[in-house]
Amino acid sequence: MNWIILIIAGLFEVGFASCLGKMKETGGTTAVLWGAGFLVCLTISMVLLIKATQTLPIGTAYAVWTGVGAVGTVLVGILVFKEPVTFARIFFLTTLIGSIAGLKFVSS
């Protein structure tokens, strides 16, 4: 169950990173609302990460949390923010996903 909580925490990390990207694109009240979304996602992500680390090793949990966040943020960048899709980006994204899966398989 804590692995699922950890993945959800990583998805909220994607949420707060995406809110930062949208804040950069907007101004005024809209930027403030994206900032509020950032704070909400950050808080939920941290609470879930703390919950997951109660039974998972901190090193593994943190690596998986940041990895899920990194993969998700790159995908949001490509799909939402129209960042470039290159062979190198996809290659290293794939190796990151493999590393996350590997940590799951070798951890208790």
Question: Residues 27-49, buried b or exposed e (16+ Cβ, 10 A)?
Answer: eeeeeeebeebbeebbebbeebb
Q: For residue 1, how many other CB atoms are within 10 A of its CB?
A: 8
Give per-residue pLDDT as tens, 61-97: 999 999 999 999 999 999 999 999 999 999 999 999 9
What is the pTM for the complete model shown?
0.88
pLDDT for residue 26 is more than 80: yes
